[in-house]
Structure 1
Amino acid sequence: MTAHVTETVGTPRSSAPPRLGLVLAVCCLAQFLVTLSVAVVNVALPAIQSSLHFSASSLQWVVNAYTITFAGFLLLGGRIADLFGRRRVFLTGIVLFTLASLVGGISQNAGTLVTARAVQGLAAAVIAPTTLAVLGTTFTDPHQRHKAFGAWGAVSGAGGAFGALAGGVLTDWLSWRWILFVNIPLGVVLFAGVAWVITELRHEGSGKRLDVPGALAVTAGLVVLVFGIVQSGPHGWDSARTLVPLVAGLLLLGAFVVIEARVAAEPLMPLDIFRSRSVTAANVVAATSGAALFSMFYFLTLFLHQVRDYSPLRTGFAYLPLAVSIMVAAQFSAPLVRRVGARTTLVAGMTLTAGGLLWLAAIDEHATFAAALLGPTIVLGAGQGISMSASAIAGVAGVPPHQAGLASGLLNATRQLGGALGLAVLAAVATTRVNGLLDGVRPTADLVRHAYASGYALAFAVGAGIAAVGVVAAFAAPGKPRD
């Protein structure tokens, strides 16, 4: 049976044209909330560890519980929104995210906080693909759509940078708990905005059947694979604690491919979506871009804390130029795509990203912010702003409306998965360098700072290599469309 689109509006204003500016504002606020929550905890980690008595090895789960569930459930979130109505699913995700933030803020032990962060990630996996799908189906004019994706890309990138600033301000002035409590008023405003301006859109066909085996296989596979990568830090790559989940994760992802290709009547991810060169290139770029940005936040924060003795507030302000750079560059991304095509725009964005990371690789324990960090973070921010918006445009280009949620969910999933995998690998690289420099010597304060700086510099250099893979992938994106 041929699928068709049914649009319903839950208010008497159903005959009125959609208020495009308000729709864009709501979608951007939702994406800002999602990306803010990825980065906002980084600066607060020492305070969280002291308050809830996390061990050094378990503290990482304050970040990874969110990231892993976010990446693991994104495809399912986009599919649910397609089938059951984007407005309804949007509102449900906001409520779940807000309640999880409240529980996390009042948590009295490590387990409760990690669980709340995992539920936040689950809710974000519903919200994020819905924002991009709503924009793609609301802004039908290509010029307006490119502008909307440019704004979405700006807040998507800046949310991470402002998250570090907000985390520093809230932790220094109030308490680490406010990095979670701040989501509550934002969630209330967002719920009201979605209920007011977003119309319902769902796709009806032969039935609202979910590919449950496929959803379970891909979600479990991503979660287990990322868990295995994370385990490599404390236990090493040759440990059974690392190898067993890595192999299990790869087997589950292999099972997912078989289910989608041969078993599922209505696949969660029709594999023919990758016949689009634009979609494939955009997702590779998104994965390498996510690895670059996640690693930069993590290692630069540690460098400022451990090597340069920055306070949480000062660390947060150090990210302000990066945030401004991302936002400004993202506004130029959509016009660049129109003028020179997605290929040239993505190549430029990922080249700037790789160059910024390579510049950061020159840091040592004496590096100052003005001389050694300001320039590369601005360059990297410009590259991220350009590539985020351009990959969002390329990732849904030519995709049928009934697959808009799938395409946007896939793009977000690969970005988050790339970030999680890249961060885990680079953390292992940095740890190996630090341990090698400190092994068998008396660890004086100066030597420890030198070892940390050297380890983080190596991580930045390897991160530049990962970004270079994104440059190569960008050449597969479509060129300038013919007039």
Structure 2
Amino acid sequence: MRDKKVETANGSSPAHHPPAGSTNQTLALAAMMFAVAMTFIDQTIVAIAAPDITDELGLTASGMRWVVNAYVLALAACFALGGRLSDIHGHRRVMLIGTLVFVVSSVLCGCVPAGGFAQAWMIIFRITQGVGAALLFPAALAVVVAVFPVERRGRALALFFGFSGGLTAIGPLLGGWLTAWTWRAIFWVNVPVAVVALILTALARIPNTGRRERLDLPGAVLVALGMGLSVLGLQQASEWGWGSAATWGCIIAGLAVLVAFCRYELRVPEQPLINLKVFRDRAFRADTAVLFFGMLAFVPLFFFASVYAQVSLRKSPNEAALYLLWFFLGFVLASQLGGRMLDQRGARLPMLLGSALGAAGFALWAAKLTDLSVGAQWPYVVLAGAGIGFLLAPASTDSVNRAIGASYGEVTGITQTTRNYAAAVGLAVYGTVLSHVTVDKVTATLEERGVPPEMAGKAARGISQSVAGHGSGRVPGEDGAAAFALEEAQQAVRMDFAEANQWVFYGMALALAIGFLCALAHPGTRVTAGSPPAGDGRG
């Protein structure tokens, strides 16, 4: 493959497409998809096995939440660092290191001994899993970007994001099946996936093109601390409460550290952790904003739709996963169309189309939640999935194409940090809304049916805690009082929970509507190979 210049729309020096030599593009893409498969499956698979893990290891409810959240927390805190390490030491090398860290951590999670140290063991190795994913994902994405020329990159990344995003739906299905054997298998399943990824990587002959540059360690510490504190506050808000000083202390301190990080990066004379000059590009700013608002709907959807299906539709965990497959039917089909549109016309059109379809789909889906019927909802579920599918790959690909000096790992770190941060915000805000509305509605319903106020409140809080329990489908505290209350008004409670979820889904529709406005700000310029862009994209 010949070297090609990639003209960016930010007016910087042209980025050079690294030589791929005899790299097999198909095998390279397959290898990277298998590698990131593990990270996406692990976002949802652990939640399904949470009750079994808790029972066997004797974990507290708070401890189990930490087992689930530790992974996302470490992932968000270390993503920017992972992207920069990928640029410095080579995308292939860092991808291999990240894969090994991830899979070894997975094996150790599955080998946790019972006893008093079990909770600490699980949390520690879930954190190292997150660190491995933070190394693996930006490096894998950078490999795909480097191997494929810009004129074919849209379709390649549409397949990459479509496949990896679809795997998030496989997590609950796979988790339910494996947990029937042993919950430990949900971690061990990463081993054969990693072996396939490593073999394909070797066969693909992917070059390792690192750049000898300094690593901005102070910047790495600041961004990890800022992301970690702010995400911690958002994740723990459901437990600590939004009125807690600890909640706001973490969020405000985290944001303050992130501001300090930005100020520091602007003063670094050379090789900052993140070159903030990329934000001078108006198109990059629009891409990043669309990703943020799109992820406010996309990632939290798996959790809230799964809980809704189990509580209101009375589905099993596996049936709830099948319910989500309607979403991914639209998502996968639209991802491929969105990638083609990106290659032919640029990112603006698919982002506008995707955010508009997504806003309409989520709004119509929300209106149908109280029908308590999959048959009444599936067309709108497909429409919502198509909206996310249209915008995700074009926004991600266009932002990476605008990297300064071919720093694909660095820009991937920015975009993926944005996605993870948006996911944490969505889970925290929507979870708080759902919890409060559910408690109020269920309490009122049970009291109207003659259930004593204390018993009604306890049953209502039990249902809301199933949300904080990450979709396990079990209502904590199902003692005699709660069971009696639920049995007395089961149908009404299902409807109350559906009505509470409408607030969440309308919130997702609103997020995508804001994303549409952000997409309008995109100048419509394209990143092309060997020719100047339509405009410089500066805002």
Equivalent in the alignment of 1:422 = 426
Q: How far off is 1:279 after superposition?
A: 1.8
- Equivalent residue for 1:201? 208
Instruction: Label 1:350 to 1:32 Cα distance change in 2 as closer, same or farther (>3 A).
Output: farther
Q: Distance in 2 between matches of 1:348 and 1:60?
A: 37
1:345 aligns with 2:353: no
Contact kept in structure 1, 2:34 and 2:194, CA below 8 Å:
no
**Distance 1:279-1:19 versus aligned 2 partners, 3 A rule:** same
- In structure 2, the partner of 1:450 is 495
- Structure 2 SS opposite 1:268: coil
Measured in 1, the distance between the counterparts of 2:119 and 2:69 equals 13
Q: C-alpha offsets along residues 325-371 of structure 1, whole Å, 9 cap, x if unaligned?
A: 22221111121123343111101112222222222322456511222
Contact 1:333/1:386 (CA < 8 Å) preserved in 2? yes
Contact persistence 1:5–1:201 (CA under 8 A) = no
The equivalent of 1:387 in structure 2 is 391
1:81 aligns with 2:83: no
| Secondary structure, aligned partner of 1:411 | helix
2:168 paired residue number? 160
Structure 2 distance, partners of 1:464, 1:52, is 39
Instruction: Give how far 1:228 is off.
Output: 0.8
Which portions of structure 1, spanning 4 or more consecutive aligned residues, are displaced by more than 4 angstroms? 2-8, 363-366, 480-483
In structure 2, the CA distance between the partners of 1:356 and 1:56, relative to structure 1 (3 Å rule), is farther
What is the deviation of 1:123? 0.7
Give SS of 2:46's match.
Answer: coil
What TM-score, normalized by structure 1, do the two folds share? Answer: 0.91
Matched, 1:370 2:375: yes
Deviates more, 1:214-223 or 1:111-120: 111-120
Secondary structure class of the residue paired with 1:65: helix
The answer on 1:477 being equivalent to 2:522 is: yes
Deviation at 1:288, TM superposition (A): 1.6
Q: 1:11 aligns to what? A: none
2:128 aligns with: 119
How far apart are 1:458 and its partner, in Å? 1.1
Give the Cα–Cα distance (whole angstroms) in 1 for the partners of residues 98 and 442 of structure 2.
46
Task: Name structure 1 gaps, 5 residues minimum.
Answer: 9-13
Q: Distance in 2 between matches of 1:332 and 1:384?
A: 12
Alignment partner of 2:106 out of 101, 110, 113: 101
Q: Is the 8 A contact 1:211 1:264 kept in 2?
A: no
Cα pair distance change 1:289/1:45, threshold 3 Å? farther
| Counterpart code for 1:167 | G
Give the letter aligned to residue 411 of structure 2: A
SS of residue in 2 equivalent to 1:60: helix
Are 1:278 and 1:397, in contact at CA under 8 Å, matched by a contact in 2?
no
| Higher mean C-alpha displacement, 272-281 vs 56-65 | 56-65
Distance 1:188 1:468, change over 3 A: same
Q: Closer, same or farther in 2 for the Cα pair 1:258/1:144, shift >3 Å?
A: same
| Cα separation, 1, equivalents of 2:132 and 2:344 | 37
| Cα contact 1:65–1:117 (8 A) shared by 2 | yes
Among 258, 261, 274, which residue is 1:256 paired with? 261
Indicate which of 170, 181, 195 corresponds to 2:188: 181
The within-5 A match list for 1:25-64 is 25-64=30-69
1:457–1:64 Cα change, 3 Å? same
Q: Note closer, same or farther for the CA distance 1:25–1:364 as it changes in structure 2 (3 Å cut).
A: closer
Contact 1:3 1:203 in 2 (8 A): no
1:423-475 CA-partner distances (Å, limit 9, x unpaired) = 11110111111122244733332344333222222111112212222111111
Aligned equivalents of 1:23, 1:413: Cα separation in 2 = 24
Residues 129 and 299 of structure 1: CA distance in aligned 2, closer, same or farther (over 3 Å)? same
Question: Given the superposition, is the C-alpha separation of residues 288 and 48 from structure 1 closer, same or farther in structure 2, using an over 3 Å criterion?
Answer: farther
| Distance in 2 (alpha carbons) for counterparts of 1:415 and 1:169 | 29
Amino acid at match of 2:434: A
Contact 1:162–1:323 under 8 Å retained in 2: no
Counterpart position of 2:477: none
Letter aligned with residue 276 of structure 1: D
1:99-123 superposed Cα distances (whole Å, 9 cap, x missing partner): 1111111223333222222211111
State the shift of 1:3 in Å: 13
Q: Quote the residue 2:272 is aligned against.
A: 267
Structure 2 gap segments, 5+ residues each: 1-12, 457-484, 527-532, 535-539
Equivalent residue, structure 1, for 2:471:
none
- Does residue 225 (structure 1) correspond to residue 225 (structure 2)? The answer is no
In structure 2, distance between residues paired with 1:415 and 1:480 = 23
Distance 1:305 1:204 in 2: 50
Could you tell me which of 463, 467, 479 is aligned with 2:508?
A: 463
Identity of aligned residues (%): 30
The 1:179/1:419 distance shift into structure 2, 3 A limit, reads: same
Contact between 2:327 and 2:385, CA under 8 Å: does it hold in 1? yes
Greater Cα offset, 261-270 or 284-293: 261-270
Task: Write the mapping of 1:236-251 to structure 2, written as runs, cut at 5 A.
Answer: 236-251=241-256
Counterparts of 1:161 and 1:139, CA distance in 2: 27
Q: Which has the larger radius of gyration?
A: 2
Q: Are 1:31 and 1:155, in contact at CA under 8 Å, matched by a contact in 2?
A: no
Superposition RMSD in Å:
2.4
Corresponding residue number in structure 1 for 2:481: none
**Aligned partner of 2:263: which letter?**
V
